[in-house]
Structure 1
């Protein structure tokens, strides 16, 4: 009986996989997003809603993440970014922070395994953020995962951990200034009328700027990926919560009402369809920049 039951489950799984790939094949006639970012909101609310043990929502949320990654890579999305842990999350109770760090350590170690999803799809993993804020075990595990997947070249997974966009921008400006510190010092001592930072503005301004937009962007934590085409935030929230503020000027924000552990193929397909509907508008906006 168990063998029959196992075969039925396997046949059902194969059928579902085949149908999903057929749907993806049809959708691939339209525009395929190059980069999708996820704000995984609602893990704690899921735990409270179903009266589960503390931390269960995050564990179920990890399974939801694996499904989303599989859908993305099957569909041909090259870059995926997830908002795993904000710098602001360190303000939570020490017990909750430690529990999340322990879970993160466990899941990072799973990414290194040979049979993991990132190795199955040839995904290179980056950890983006102020990694110095992490506990040593988690930071070292993140470094091991980046090293272990360094030769994967089919897709890129960016995990934003100990991250906020404002911290990223300040970091990028500081790095840009340090890189050109000698030139800045010379200009200050000479009293030359040069600008320091140029982020945009009058294209006909002929003054020389030491630090340009490209300098700052090259020092961003997220310099490893292009700007996102879609940001998906669950729980019906439409806030970015200090996530990819610099990079999200021209992207589609999708906010399904489901909590993160409940997200599934239906929400993924709806995000793709809406993106394809307005793709040309955002594409033209980018070309005008």
Structure 2
């Protein structure tokens, strides 16, 4: 009986929270709503240490925080969310920690495509971005299954940067651009048409089209928890005209109010950022 009453009380508070969020988001939507928010999920290990949790439980709590943030973003009307899940540099951690994180990733990736998951409830298409061949086979296959299973979803996009750094992404994009231009020149030479040097120089658009993150517009806001203001090799190319918000809370502690403050900051600076984009 007590358990039933507790569940009823919990559900009541969740319903009240949903009504309050809807009211707040309706007010925010009067101003410009960010189309793309990116997250650097910093502080899972420190949270585990702070709460005396066993290894891995900080990341599990962090995953729950991510699911809440996704729900809040899509309720707000933000169509693109990108998260920094695992850097190439993170492979330098101890083999035991890397293996533990990979196992957790596989478990959570497989959970994303379950019928009742947030991905299916909100019609979200999932992309995994980065050098995926660096992942172990079970995680890579799980990522491929999730991308295939959500390929027809069109209401929103979740991009998960895994085995990713911005420097690797830019290098990859330049290499792809060079190979494409070489193929074009080879075809022209074979056909006898010849080519004009200037017309086949690599430009910014060529590079951007070959970025891992070409599936989404540049972010309007990057939120990094734990008070850090570094981008840590994340979206360096794409972040020239976005707001960086750095709340002091650790990632598992992030709440809807941090999202609200980030959006208010974006709206306050919107005109300035748009003008800078025009001048670029």
TM-score, L = length of structure 2: 0.94
Equivalent residues of 2:113, 2:149 under 8 A apart: yes
Partner of 1:269: 260
Give how far 1:50 is off.
Answer: 1.9
Residue aligning to 1:154: 155
Q: Name which of structure 1's ranges 123-132 and 7-16 shifts more when overlaid on structure 2.
A: 7-16
Q: Do residues 76 (structure 1) and 77 (structure 2) align?
A: yes
Cα deviation, residue 47, structure 1 = 1.2
Unaligned runs of 5+ in 2: 190-194
Counterpart of 1:235 (choices 219, 226, 233) is 226
Q: Give the CA RMSD over aligned residues.
A: 1.6
Aligned to 1:64: 65
Cα deviation per residue 1:21-72 (whole Å; 9 max; x = unaligned)? 1110111101100000000000111111222111111011001101100100
- Give the structure 1 partner of residue 182 of structure 2: 181
In 1: Cα distance, 2:216 partner to 2:239 partner: 12
- Out of 232, 239, 261, the residue aligned to residue 248 of structure 1 is 239
Which residue matches 1:222? 213
SS in 2 for 1:180: helix
Post-superposition offset of 1:6: 2.4
Q: Is 1:288 aligned to 2:279, yes or no? A: yes
- 1:133-173 CA deviation, whole Å, 9 max, x = no partner? 00011001000000000111000000000000000000001
3-state DSSP class of the match of 2:30? coil
Corresponding residue for 1:124? Answer: 125
Aligned residue pairs total 274
Separation (CA, whole Å) in 1 of partners of 2:269 and 2:276:
11
| Partner Cα separation in structure 2 for residue 102 and residue 113 of structure 1 | 17
Give 4+ residue runs of structure 1 displaced > 4 Å after superposition.
Answer: 183-187
Counterparts of 1:184 and 1:170, CA distance in 2: 21
Determine the C-alpha separation between the residues in 2 that align with 1:266 and 1:212. Answer: 41
Instruction: Tell me the CA shift for residue 251 of structure 1.
Output: 0.3
Partner of 2:249: 258
The 2-side partners of 1:17 and 1:84 are apart by 27
Separation of aligned partners in 2, 1:268 and 1:70: 11
Q: CA deviation at 1:193?
A: 8.6
Secondary structure class of the residue paired with 1:256: coil
Q: Residues 8-33 of structure 1, C-alpha deviation per residue, up to 9 Å, x if partnerless?
A: 22222111111111110111101100
Give matches, 1:17-166, under 5 Å: 17-166=18-167
Q: In 2, Cα distance between the equivalents of 1:219 and 1:231? A: 22
Instruction: Name whichever of 55-64 and 209-218 sits farther off.
Output: 209-218
Gaps in structure 1 of 5+ consecutive residues: 195-206
